Amino acid sequence: MPDGVYVILPTLNEAQNIGPMLDGIRNALGDSPHTVCVIDDGSTDGTVEKIQADRVAHDWRVHIIQRQKKGRGSQRGGALRVGLEWGLDFTEHAIFVEMDGDLSHRPEELWQGINLLVKDGYNVAIASKYVPGSAVTNRPLQRRLVSRISSIAVGLVINRRIRDYSNGYRFYDRAAAELLRSHRYKYGSPIYLTEALAMWLRGGLRIIEFPSLYIGRNEGLSKLRLIDLIKAGIAVFEIGFRYHLTGFGESAVSREVGKELSSAG
């Protein structure tokens, strides 16, 4: 494949899952040129050590960026942005892929997403939970309903073309990555996934969703904090305002991201 594949893999305490995840990516991509960038947000369970051992054992291109988590809640958005910046600055890869490190996203689906970009000419492909042929396992019904209703609500605020705004299994070309870098972003939480999609939609990129099997981790409603849902709701309306009216603003690489990249070496 021309210029290869760049996989962004945020992790936090995934020692039990990271080995099988890296094996799956390596087996799926085979001899195709690729780099995996793991952005770890301060794991304390040996995740980083397992990644380092896997890299030595298999002599393959795994880059690790270690961060220290600040504040409560997931900082997935900030990790993805750091990984994106590193890939643009230090690789020539043409295809960018974002995945979770907890085995909820299947490496077996990598080529399905990649081919939608390489062969069919899309800029962005989303492994969706909500298109015909998709399936969700190991996720309680209540949590599925919350996720589905939230996606419908976000679509009404931003753009109904997209059915799954929250899925983090995404494929995009280098032009789409550059578009994200060229715009200011506000959210380091998982709402960044919605913000990034809104940027791509406003930029007129060709986006497609394809059926995917999402494997949950039996996460229940108890892990959802009311304050987080309220903040996410406010953020969606703010993103919708920028999407429809003001745009997202042009920006160079943020100072904070630049610091993280330089400290990561």
CATH number corresponding to 5-260: 3.90.550.10
What pLDDT is attached to residue 149?
85
What pLDDT is attached to residue 196?
96
The DSSP bridge pattern shows strands 95-98 and 5-11 to be parallel
**Contact predicate 89/111, CB 8 Å:** no
User: Cα separation of 137 and 127, whole Å?
Assistant: 15
Residue ranges in 34-75 assigned as alpha helix (H): 47-58
Q: How far is CA 192 from CA 139, 232, 236, in A?
A: 23, 10, 10
The low-confidence residues of the chain, meaning pLDDT below 70, are 1-2, 69-74, 218-226, 251-265
What's the one-letter identity of residue 209?
Answer: E
What pLDDT is attached to residue 205?
97
What pLDDT is attached to residue 190?
87
What pLDDT is attached to residue 254?
41
End-to-end alpha carbon distance in the chain = 28
What pLDDT is attached to residue 93?
96
Residue 27 CB coordination number (10 Å): 11
117: nearest Cα among 248, 6, 30, 198: 6
What pLDDT is attached to residue 228?
72
